[in-house]
Each structure stands twice: as C-alpha cells, then as structure tokens.
Amino acid sequence: MRVIAVIQARMGSTRLPGKSLVPLAGVPVLQMVFDRARDSGGLDEITVATTTEPEDDLLAQLVREHGGRVYRGSAMDVLDRLYRAVGNDVVDEDVIVRLTGDCPFIDPDVITSVVRAIVDDPTCSYASNISPPTFPNGLDVEVMRLWALREAWERATEPHQREHVTPYLRENPGRYKALNVRCTLGNLSNHRWTLDEPEDYEFLRAVAERLAPGFRMSDVIAVLAREPDLAALNSRFRRNEGAMRTMKTSMDSRAPLRSITESDKWWKRREGLIPAGTMTLSKGPTQFVDGVAPKYLERGLGSHVWDVDGNEYIDYPLGLGAVTLGHRHPEVNEAIRRQLDDSGISFTLMHPLEVLLAEKLREVVPCCEMVRFGKNGSDATSAAVRAARAYTGRPMIARCGYHGWQDWSIDASYGVRSRGVPADVQALTVSFRYNDPASLEEVFAAHPDRIGGVILEPIATTVPRDGFLEKVKEIAHRNGAVLIFDEVITGFRLARGGAQEYFNVIPDLATMGKGLGNGMPISLVLGKAEVMQVFEDIFFSFTFGGETLSLAAALKVVEIMERDDYWSHAAALGTRLQNGFRELATEFGLADVADCNGLPQWTVVSFKAIGSSEPLVLKSLFQQELLKRGVLFSGSQFISLSHTDEDIDRTMEAYREAFKVLRFGIDNDCVADLLQGRPIEPTFRPI
C-alpha cells in the first residue's frame, strides 16, 4: 500500500490573486506547504494538482523546476482534478492524501496522525480532521482509499460534491467508513490559519516571521498566546464560506422549499384578531421553522395531512397525539355520523353512551373502578388534582411533567407565560425530577403534611429507570398523598390499559385523553372508587361533559384498537422509526448529538448542543429538511394505525437527507446559516 499526497493549488483567487506564490518568511506559500508535507515522512509521493488556466503556467513551471510532479486539470471540477492527479500507477487500497495549497501552516505531525488513522484501520475508507473540525482552520487533512475516491469521482453529481471533493464520501458514511482525528490540545477550530484574504496573508506573514522553519502547531499557539492581537488580524472571516454557498445550491436542487403562500395569507388575516396567533401553543409558528413550515393544515387522510397550499406530509405529530387510528378513519367517522344523523349531539339529560363507555373503561384500564369524562387533558388533570386535595384535605401538589394550562399547573418554575397566576397559587405546586426519587423525597420533607397529590407522566421522553415508578408510588403513599398518573398521552397508546399496564404500576387516579377519541375532544379521570367517590362532593361540571359524538367515537376507537391490535402495530412501526433514526445518527457520527428517546409508540427526537449550534437550531434545521421532503416533524412522533411500512421507508430517506445537511452544518459550523426561516423557540416541553 502506498500513500500519495496531492496538493491542490492555483493562482486564481478573486480576493488574493497569485496567493500560492506569495512569500512567507521568504518562502513561497506553495513551497512551504510542499516542504511541510514532505516533513511528515510517511508520504510516498507528492503531486501538485493545478488547473489548465494560463494563470497557473508559472506555478506549474516552478514546481517542475524544483523537481516536483505536476498535474493540470479542471478548475471547477476539483474532484476530477484530484482523481486524475493520482495517476494510473495505483491500486484500490492505496491511500490518497488531500492537501490544499492555501494552508501554509499545515503540520507534518497532523498529516502523519490522519494518515495513520486510515492505515491502522483497514475497514476505514476516509479519515480526516474536519468532521467535526477541532484543529485550526488551515490544518485540514483528508485521506481516502483510492477506491473510495474513484467511486466519488464516478458517482458524485452535485456542484458542492465536485468542487469540494469529499462531501460525497461524508454524505454516505454507511458505505465509506469514516474516522475523525481530534486535536489533543482541545477545540482550536475557531483559529484561522488559512490563506484566502489579504488579512489572512498579513496574519500568516506576521506569525511566520516569528518562527523558525519546521515549526509545529504548538509553536504557532505559543506565539498567539504571547501576542493575542495577532489573531485579531483576520478573525472576522468565517470558515468554509464558499463550501456553504455551494451546499445551499445543492440543498435547493435536492429539495426546494415548498410554497406556503396560502398559509401566509391566513396568518396575515388573523393579525390583530387572535392574540398569540394560535389556540394551542404547540401548533403555533414558534414550534415550526417560520418561513419554511406551513402554518395551516386543511385536511388529513390516514397517516397523511395536506396544508392549505396543497402540500402533502406524513403526519407524526398526529393532532398532538390525538389521532391514534389515522385521520378520517372510516369506521370512527361512520360511528360519529350515525350518532349525529340518528340521535343528536348534546342533550339536557344524560345519554346512555356515558354508561356504556364507562363500563368499557372499567374493563380496559387497570386502576379504573370509577370514571368521569372531560373534554381536554387539562380538565382531567385539574379534576384529579381537585379530587386529591379534597380526599387528603391538603393544599399542595407535587408535579413532574406537563399537565395543562390551568392555574394549579403553572408553578413558579415556568418563568415564561406564567403571568396571571397569583404567586400564592403558584406556591401551592412544587416540582420534582423524573427518574430522581430523591427529589420527590425532598419535596415532601420541605412541605410536611401539606402535599395531597403527586402527579406525573409515567413516561415522558425518557423511560423510567431503577423502579422509579414503584418508588414514586411508595413515597407518595408513605407520605399520605394520592398518586396520579397523567396518562393524557400514554393512555390507550403504550398498551390497552396505558402506561400503568405497560409498567405494571397501578396509581390511585389516572388522567387520559389524547388517544381515545381519534381527534374528538374527550378526556377521562379515572381511578380507585375510594378516591373517585369525592366527586360526589367536589365541583367538576360543564355543559359539554357527556357530549355524545365524542362518546360514540371513543367506544368505536377502543373496539378497533382491540380488534386490529393497534399496540403491536404502533410498537412495530415505532421500533423501525426509532431504530432507524438511531442507526442513521450513528452512521453520520452524530449519536452524541441527536437521539430518538422514549418508547416506540411515542418517540421524542432531541438534540444536544455542538460547536456553536444550540439544540433548537439543530432541531430547526432537521425539521426544515424533513418538511421540504414531506414529513411533518415537531420532535414528538406518534404512530397511528394508518401508518404503513412505506411511510417509514419514506421517512428514513428524509431522515438520511436531513442528517447529511446536519452533518455538513456541524462540520462547517454553519447550522444557523443553512436555515431558511426563523428557528423554533423554546416552549414548556416538546409537545
């Protein structure tokens, strides 16, 4: 196996003409690159690849005069130039080292370490120190097997892949196993030691004059530590601006933005009319990339929805988790229609459907000895909290998670949007942390005999660890409090009897909602008769309690879920979605940055900050690329009975494309620049 280095160099530069031959400490830049590459020792051959443009005649001549090899080729198709520069006397396993003539401070030891990475791992086909970069800009080294370079040369078609040579390899990490060499001195990627601008030249010249030939990266760092002002000479320029521009062009041709003009028109019409713009925060434009995402959906069918501009999307947020069977499920629609046509919607006395549904729920949900209905999740959680207070005679509530919009659940920790809830009321709710039973013990210790109810989502993004739910139950009961599982999302979703059945921890009370009506407004508070009896004495009463279309829908939904085994379907497709996401994250080297948490039936995609990119900016870019490819993505992903394997296949393709863009954005520290709209804003939680 041979190691062949190619230095790309050219004289043409709009900002710094003739840059390859300007002197640094008396040595032309290209010669400095050449000499330093040779110093690395492990290179069997070094070729300079320049263009056939007349302006590069002199450069080619000088290299030849010094006994170097020159190849002359295309100015724009740099991938072609590099591949042809390697010549014919090579075999598949040979290693090609790509260096650039505008990096005069290239470090011989860094070249050696990147070459060693690929040589030591026969399965590796591409190694670099730029994905993500941790070395100063200007110390970039990329090495690849000849066969990988040839495949890129044969297959890459897009401008950024031809102009920047290696994106094709990085965009297909499943085929080209990649390794990244990190800088042992820490993350120095904000240093700029490359030569593009006149100011770069000033900087490089000043540093080179202070050093003896053969200097290393650490010597440059030492100079800059002594004279920090030097770095300011060129610090205003950004890494890889050119690559970012060509990537944007490729992004547009891969998947153009969809038209959202009708959405925009509706949004304009509501101005001055609907404060905050939306009835439901999670549906509002703060949760979707503003300018890219549609704002109004018009219709749905099965697992797909269409916006007011006619764009189609695979729907994972599913009406914020409400549409468990899929939009316009024919049998549910028929049940609603029959109730509507043959019977009516709301009456002044009770309707027998209430009893029928209550009987069914007692059969289905483990904790259910008695049940009351509400319309929203907030109705149910607030009713449960009032019941717990009445039952125990205690005023305070310990909560963990999101439980709705009512006063009691907006405690002091909300910060944003907590106006209008008196501080005295806020002080009655205290929060504890998920998977941290000690935090619940602390809350009880801080408020002895004051806490009447403990309410939590049994699972919310992370799965319970080390018997957390059992411990919460034990702590709540030991301290005389009622345990309430907020199963507004998990009810009818994780299992027939909800999370309590799935985890086999039965609470005193539970609240359910989203899963039951296939989009119809119905919620439940249900539980042990002993506690539920207090509903005889508390006020929980409203006009639309017992509205019959929702009851008819709910009965039909449970019937279909049982008949078609909704839970196996949701688990199977959700597993594909979750595993697929995680496999792609790993393939793209982003497993530390992006994860798909939770259980397959309800997964939540989350991002961790990397470089200068904040989680919400990463999420925004990911969402943007999915929206452009027809996937409605809000972070929370639900599976309906109508989702198909084909939906998942299409989503995987969209994920893959989104990961390519994300990887590029992270490597070039330009995630925010690749956004074509305003990023998502924080909310209370992902849904």
**Interface with ligand PMP (CB under 6 A):** 376-378, 381, 401-404, 457, 486, 488-489, 513, 687
d(CA 582, CA 595): 6
d(CA 153, CA 176): 14
Residue 687: CB minimum distance to ligand PMP, A: 5
Residue type, 554: A
Residue 410: CB minimum distance to ligand PMP, A: 12
d(CA 571, CA 558): 17
Residue 385: CB minimum distance to ligand PMP, A: 11
Residue 532: CB minimum distance to ligand PMP, A: 19
Helical packing angle, 548-564 and 352-364, nearest 10°: 30
Helices and strands counted in the chain (H then E):
24, 23
Which single residue is written with the structure tokens 């595993």?
Answer: 579
Nearer Cβ to ligand PMP (97/553): 553
Task: Give me the active site residues, please.
Answer: 402, 486, 514
Q: Which of 557, 565, 552 is nearest to 356 (CA)?
A: 552
Residue type, 147: W
Nearer Cβ to ligand PMP (108/401): 401
Q: Which of 568, 632, 571 is nearest to 601 (CA)?
A: 571
What backbone torsions phi and psi does residue 460 show, to the nearest 5 degrees?
-150, 100
Nearer Cβ to ligand PMP (457/547): 457
Bridge partners, 486 (sequence order) = 511
d(CA 654, CA 650): 6
Nearer Cβ to ligand PMP (392/461): 461
Bridge partners, 632 (sequence order) = 315
d(CA 174, CA 218): 35
Distance from the Cα of residue 262 to its chain's centroid: 27
| Residue 323: Cβ-neighbour burial (10 angstroms; 0-12, 13-18, 19+) | buried
Q: Which of 522, 536, 531 is nearest to 358 (CA)?
A: 522
| Tokens describing residue 527 | 């539980």
Q: Which helix (H) or strand (E) holds 664?
A: helix 645-667
Q: Which residues lie below 8 Å from residue 637, measured CB to CB, with a gap of 6+?
A: 316, 317, 574, 577, 596, 602, 603, 604, 605
Which single residue is written with the structure tokens 């440059």?
Answer: 220
Residue 599: CB minimum distance to ligand PMP, A: 14
Residue 377: CB minimum distance to ligand PMP, A: 2
Report H helices in 464-610.
468-478, 498-503, 529-532, 548-564, 566-587
Nearer Cβ to ligand PMP (9/380): 380
Nearer Cβ to ligand PMP (336/524): 524
Position with the least CB separation from ligand PMP: 377
Q: Name the strands in the sheet holding 631-632, side by side, starting at the edge strand that comes first in the sequence.
A: 297-301, 304-307, 312-315, 631-632
